[in-house]
Each structure stands twice: as C-alpha cells, then as structure tokens.
Structure 1
Amino acid sequence: MGAAKILVIGGGAGGLPLVTFLGRKLGKHHLADITLVDSSSIHVWKPRYHEVATGAIDADLDAVDYRAHARLNHYRFEPGTLTQVDAAGQTVTLAPVHDQQGEEVLPERKLAYDYLVLAVGSQSNDFNTPGVREHALFLDSRQQADRFRERFLNACLHANHVNAPLSVAIVGGGATGVELAAEIHHAISMLKLYGHEHLDRKQLNVHLIEAAPRILPVLTERVSATAHARLEALGVQVHVNTLVERAEPNTFVVKNGDDITADLLVWAAGVKAPDVLGGIDGLERNRINQIVVEPTLQAKGQPRIFVIGDCAACLLPGSEKPIPPRAQSAQQMAQHMAKNFERLLQYDKPLQPFTYKDRGSLVSLSQYNSVGMLMGNLKGGNFFVEGWLARMMYISLYRLHQAALYGWPRTLMLLVAGRFNRLVRPRLKLH
C-alpha cells in the first residue's frame, strides 16, 4: 500500500500551516502524499487585508509563494478552485484555470484523495441586502483588497486635485470594519507626505455602520467602548443601531434614519462559509453554510472528510456556542489535525477530539495609541490591555504565523529584511 493521499483545499490561516506541519512530519519521510489546492498562487494572511487595502503593507513583499513553500516543506501545490466533491468516489473536481485574457491554462481536473481537508475559510455575508454586490467593495480576498486600494488611491488623488473632502462608508463594526476605519486615517496622514498636500484628515469623513447596539459586539463592553472612543477621537463617525436596507450608487440607504453617502462603500458585516460548500452532497450545514463537524473535526457522517477554520461549525465542549471564526481558531485546528494525522498514519492510533483554547482577541487601530484587546484564559480569567503593549502583542500574532510557516530563524531574517526595506521604500504602497 502506498502513502496516504491527503488533499487540503484552501491555503489560508488553517490550510497553509496544516500542509506545512504535515509536509515536515509525514511528507518528508514519504509517510503521506500531501497536496494543497488554492485558487491563488500566493498566500497573504487574511487579518492583514485591511492593511493591504490601504497600502500600509506591500502584499507582494509579504506574500508566501505556494510553489516555493511547497518545495521547501515537502508537499505539492495544485492551482484551482473547488467545484465538486464526490465523497463516495473520494475525488474532488477543480474548475479550469484561465489567464487574464480568458485563455484556458489548465482544464477541469479531478484529484483523488484518501483524506480530504476542507479549509476554504469564510466570506462576508451580505444577507441578500439589495444592491450591495453591485455597489459596495469587499475585503474577502487579496484581489478585493487590491481593488479597494486602487479605488481608494484614485479617490485620494481626485480629492487632493480639487481640494475636496473624501468620504468612506463601512458597514460592519467587527474587527475588519474597525481596523479598516483606523487604517484609512493613517493612510491619509502618509499620503500627505507624498505629494497630496491638499489632502487632510480634517477633510476625511469615515462612517462606521453597525446594526448592533455597539461595535465589536462579540468582545467585552470595555473593549468595545475603548475602541469606540478611540475611533471617534480619530474623527470616525460611528453609527450603532443602524440597519442598512439597501445600497445604491455612493449611498447606503438606512432604515429609520438618514441615508449615508460616500465616495467609497465597503461591506464588512457578517461571515458565512463559501457558497461552493452548499453544493456538496452528504454534508450537514448550518444557517451560515458552515459544515457541521464531530469533535475530531470530521464532517458528520464522512469519516474521511475533515473541516477546519472558518468553514467548520464546531461547538465548544459542553456548550451550544460555536468556536468563533478567527485566525487563532484555524491555526489551533491545523496544529491539532497535524497531530491527529501523525497519530493515525504513523502509529495507527485513534483520533483525538479538538479542544479550543481562547487566547483572546486583539483589535488594531493602526499606528495610533489605539489597540484595544481582550486576552482570555490567563489564570482562569480575562484582562484588558491597550497602548504600546497591545500593539506589540498584535504584531506578535503575525510573527507567530510566520514562524509556523518558516521557522524562527527565517522569520527573524524576514523581520530584519523588512527593517532595511523601510530605508529605501515609501511608507505606503502608492500604486
């Protein structure tokens, strides 16, 4: 019998660390044949999309090339987008790959597996709100973040030329919306250094719109109140208890309130699993399309299909409360899955149930003294931090992600290289 075929769909915060761990532990010793499938050729950490969108980071410098990473970590990379899963035949179907001119590069393909891991993440949930898909921007992918940056920089260029105000309206007071609102203010400050002499934060109108009674509703009231106060101090107009009924060109139409107009409309409210999961027979899903899993992260009724990250509906032990769709959840699931595959394939031992450890939630308010966070499960309780300590802890999360992919020596080299880049490159990506 040959090496087991492990197929991982999705190279995000869960899928990429998983194939990295598996490649080093099993692929290197020919105990498993590991393949990663992703529609993109590079990986950018999703919690940084708001920084990509405003140009605070250059994603080309920060990205992980799947092919290069696969070669170093003993797995294969296959470009493609999942369209179908045949659980009985243990195959998946990938859509054809086309270039920018529409020419077919790769045909439709079928890949066989012994074990399938779905790690396709999540996307914004527009709740079928009319007009949103046509008139609003999203930040669910690197391509969408790049599109926002292009639109944002062009809007800034125009506003500077005519010496007029610039406005951005963001629906969704979760982490993405809050962080983007603060990052836009920072970007305007930076652009003033690069020829936009008429552009000023005093002429910037950022609206943050949340349907719940407060922003960051899944975090504690103290974190929410602190973030709210910091945003208003920056000049962000925070609208709570505000429900958007529909989107029109440059306008969010609000229920029982004044419509909010802006040069750029952004939708960052709610999450749901990708629509492709709805077309897979034999899998149980919840109301936001997540696949319901057993404690071992196996899809219910499908022992050879595993689900990790935002697309997994996994309950906290002894609770009806789901594990939150966060990067730390996906990373912990990836580490657990790697150990379980090692137990199963190397030692023929049973799978162990997944246990989630909440290490807290961090919210970045760009470079300002403005990171409010909640750290959980420290000596049995929570504590609140903000300021420079919170900022350092927020940055450390990304360094830990890099260390999982590269190891600490290479991560430290990347950190040093980044410092040198700052000497010769602009402080904002300007194109």
Structure 2
Amino acid sequence: MLDVLVAGGGYVGLSLAVAVKKAAPHLAVEVVDAAPDHAWRKDERAFAIVAAARNLLDVLGIWNEIEPEAEPIRRMVITDSRTADPVRPVFLTFEGAGSGDDGQPFAHMVPNRAITAGLLKQAEALGVSIRWSTSVEGFATGQHSTTVSLSGGTERQTRLLVACDGVRSKLRDMAGIKTVRFDYGQSGIVTTVQHERPHEGTAEEHFLPAGPFATLPLTGNRSSLVWTERTEDARRLVESDDLVFEEELERRFGHKLGALKVVDGRRAFPLGLTLARAFVAPRFALAGDAAHGIHPISGQGLNLGFKDVAALAETIVEADRLGLDIGAVSVLERYETWRRFDTVRMGMTTDVLNRLFSNDMTPLRVLRDVGLGVVDRLPGLKSFFIRQAEGTTGNGHPRMLVGQRI
C-alpha cells in the first residue's frame, strides 16, 4: 500500500513527492499524470521564483542545478498609461535586492522545464515512482485507506491522495469540494521574445486599460511576456498572422530594447479567480492550482503552489514521526489552517488590483497613479512590499520556506 499518491506531475506534484520522500525515505510515494512523459519538455513558460520558493528548491537539492538557467530580477518598474500615449511615466520602481543577507535578489525568472527536469532527476534518485499517461478515474475512501482507480483498469491503495491536477481539477470535483469562481473576461497571452539590447535584469509591468502587460527578463537578450487582454481580443491576436501580432506587440512593448522577434509559440489562457471552499477531506488534500487559481497580476501563482508544498509536506512528515495517521482530517486540518488565510488574502489582493488597474476610468487612474507615486517616495513602505513578495516575512512559516529541513 502507498502512503501518498499524488495526482499531477507538474511542479507542485513533483516537489511535494520529492519533499516528502527526502524527509521521510521510508514512506511509499507515487505520482501519476495523464500527460505523456515528454509533454513537459514542450513547456516554454517561465515563472518568477521568489525567495521563499528558492529556499524550498534549495532544500530539495535542485536550486544549484537550475540556477544557471535562472535570470535575477534586479529591478521592477511599474508604469500606467494608454497604449497610444506618447509618454509612459514610471510611477514606481523596486530595486531587486532582497531583504536577506545573502545578496540574492527577491526573485528570479526560471523556465518551467528547468524546474521540472530538476525535480524529475531528484525524484528518480529518491525512488519516487512516477506513472505517466495515467489518470485517476475515481476513488473510494475507506476508514484506513483510499482505493484509487487508475486508467487501464488498475487500482492503488493509499493512505493519502493529493490532487495537484490544476485549476480545473477533476479530483476536486470527485471529492465534492465546491469552489468560489469568477471569470474576469480576460485571457493571458504568454510568449517569449528576443530583443537587440540587454534588459539588464529589469522587469516591467505596464498597466493598460485591458489589463497588465508584463515583460520579465530571461537569460540572454530574451524576455517572457504575460500580456493580458479581453478574451475576444486575445483570441484574435493569438490566431492572427505574425505581422499583425508583432505590430500589436511593439505598440505595447515599445522600442526601448530595439527590434523584437517572437521566438516561442503564443498561447492564451483564460483568467479568473478560483478558490476551493475546503483544502482537505478524509484522506484527501488539494494543492497548487487545484486549491486556488488567481490572476497573474502579482506573479504569485506558482509561489502559492510552492507554499502549499512546504506546508503539506511538513504536515505529513511530522504526523508520521509522531505515529499519527497522515490521512486523518484532524491531521490535514493543520495544512488547511496554515494555507487558507494566505491563499484567500492573495486571491482577494489580486482581484482588487486587477479591478483597480484594468480599466480606463479617469478618477481611478488619477487615484492609483497618486498611490503608486506615494509608495515610490517611501523607502520603508517599498521594503515592506518586497518582504511580502519574498514570502519569508512573519512567524510560523513552514521550515522549507526559510531554508530549513523538515
């Protein structure tokens, strides 16, 4: 019988499996994923990894391996204007130095394939079983274990089933866990561009009436784009020919880094707010996007998933060390309590920011621009926001988020 069965082989599922197995090698951990084993290699997305997530990856033993592909964010610039405005004033600037004494920036941009490759290598070394092209078809929860039906007609017995299968989680629905959902009527266009001049580690978030247009530095003269548009406009842009797409891109990106060239396929993802009403049930837990899906305006979606991993892994391992049943609701409630407030707070924060900045109402534009200007002139307040973004402030954090082993 398995101790932990993880449904979902993305960065959340793999990092949870590695974290549990690394801290408690005697536990039997398995990961199943409906995708084939090569699908992750085609994922060209890149994510902002904040200090807390970097600490977790370091504890898991993979940060040194993926760091050569990580680009430090040395500076963050925030602007607010219309697309046609001749001048784009900078209202707020954050220097990239983190609050710690290690000289590390508060965030790095890291390709998802590098994170996944490092986690897969570590999982194999630790003896984590991974089944690709295998989906969960159903499960039945008993008093001492859960029987999980897999595609192909096989079954697995496990003490704990963890759903890491994304924002449209089928397992969440199977478990009867309801959600709070809101569709923003926006889609995020994701692609990678190459430019003539170096970005010097600068990330920029340009607030436009349709939504934020973020340029995030990658290694070399490349940047990752997260371009928010109304859903119908995003669909039109993604389906347009290269000339139209690059012309619209240049109108938003500008010419500060010289000529642009799209070097990755463009994709659009619908944006909304999804919050699970519960994170746990008997012998069942949600983690990552299965528990929460938020707007990318703050770049915190992936980092929320890593926080889930740190909290759930610590809950499982400490319960096992105490001889407790790792699938009992009384044990799993610690994880839910740990993560629920932070998740709801971040979801509400991104919701308010998106509503405040994704519009063209003059009174609101004046109000938000004045607010950004005030923050820019108060170093103490800017430092507070950086510490919040790093994810290491306050007390009671899971140990891996501050660089400690479980």
Q: TM-score range by the shorter chain?
A: 0.3 to 0.5
More strand, by proportion: 2
**TM-score scaled by length of structure 2:** 0.43
Flag the structure with more relative contact order, 1 or 2, with Cα contacts below 8 A and sequence separation at least 6: 2
**TM-score scaled by length of structure 1:** 0.41
